[in-house]
Amino acid sequence: VARLLLLWAASGLLLAAVAAIPPPEEAARMARYVLHSCDWGALATLSAQEGLRGRPFANIFSLSDGPPGPCGGSGVPYLYLTDMEISVQDLEVDSNASLTVSLAQTPYCRKHRYDPQNPLCAHIIFAGSIVKVNDSEADLAKKALFSRHPEMESWPKDHNWFFAKFNITNIWVLDYFGGLKIVTPEEYYSVKP
């Protein structure tokens, strides 16, 4: 019985270590971890709308970098979009955007009583552009998104939904005190969360 309890305790510690967030000195891993932990983000565009033209405009979008679970995802933020959406109309004029994801949407920050603005409630800011995925990547995007957002499969077909991805050019990590950390896309994609 003691041996069984020891084995159970060891496996519990291993699972806890796997589920733990990366340490602050591993900013690239933190960026991958936070993105994979999030189901949505705030996408900011430059508005093309009358009365707002040229001004920043933020909107919430469901996203996914892969099915939930410890596999860690691809690191690529996929989105399911329609030209009927106001932010997508902005992107048709200027595809540049920024995307912010935060552990505030997960139980982690609530559990530790971290305010969303507290640096310990990690958030990641991506800069880049939104691009439609090609046919060879569409199946990957569909699996990533529909596994986390099954409702998407029933959205009206006449809205002409399409799969897109956030093409990352810059990454900023805020996960500890002392300011933002810069992570290159190369560093980001070379690590596993």
DSSP letters spanning 68-88: SSTT---S--EEEE-TTSHHH
Cβ–Cβ under 8 Å, residues 128 and 172: no
- Residue 48 is assigned to a structural domain of this protein: yes
One digit per residue, the tens of pLDDT, for the chain of length 193 reads 544 343 344 333 333 334 589 999 999 999 999 999 999 999 999 999 999 999 999 999 999 999 998 877 999 999 999 999 999 999 999 999 999 999 999 999 999 999 999 999 999 999 999 999 999 999 999 999 999 999 999 999 999 999 999 999 999 999 999 999 999 999 999 998 7
Phi, psi of 101 (to 5 degrees): -125, 145
- Residue 88 is assigned to a structural domain of this protein: yes
DSSP symbol at 56: E
CB contact set of 186 (below 8 Å; sequence gap of 6+): none
- Residue 98 is assigned to a structural domain of this protein: yes
Output the pLDDT for position 9: 40
Burial string for 160-169 (b: 16+ CB within 10 Å, else e) reads ebebbbbbbe
Output the pLDDT for position 94: 97
- The tally of domains found in the chain comes to 1
CB contact set of 140 (below 8 Å; sequence gap of 6+): 74, 78, 133
Write out the residue range of the structural domain in which residue 111 sits.
27-190
Output the pLDDT for position 11: 34
- Residue 103 is assigned to a structural domain of this protein: yes
- Residue 111 is assigned to a structural domain of this protein: yes
Tokens standing for 139?
């199946």
Cα–Cα distances (Å) from 42 to 61, 70, 87, 190, in that order, read 6, 24, 11, 25
**CATH value at residue 109:** 2.30.110.10
| 3-state SS, residue 117 | coil
- Residue 10 is assigned to a structural domain of this protein: no
What pairing do the DSSP bridges indicate for beta strands 162-174 and 56-62? Answer: unpaired
CB contact set of 84 (below 8 Å; sequence gap of 6+): 159, 160
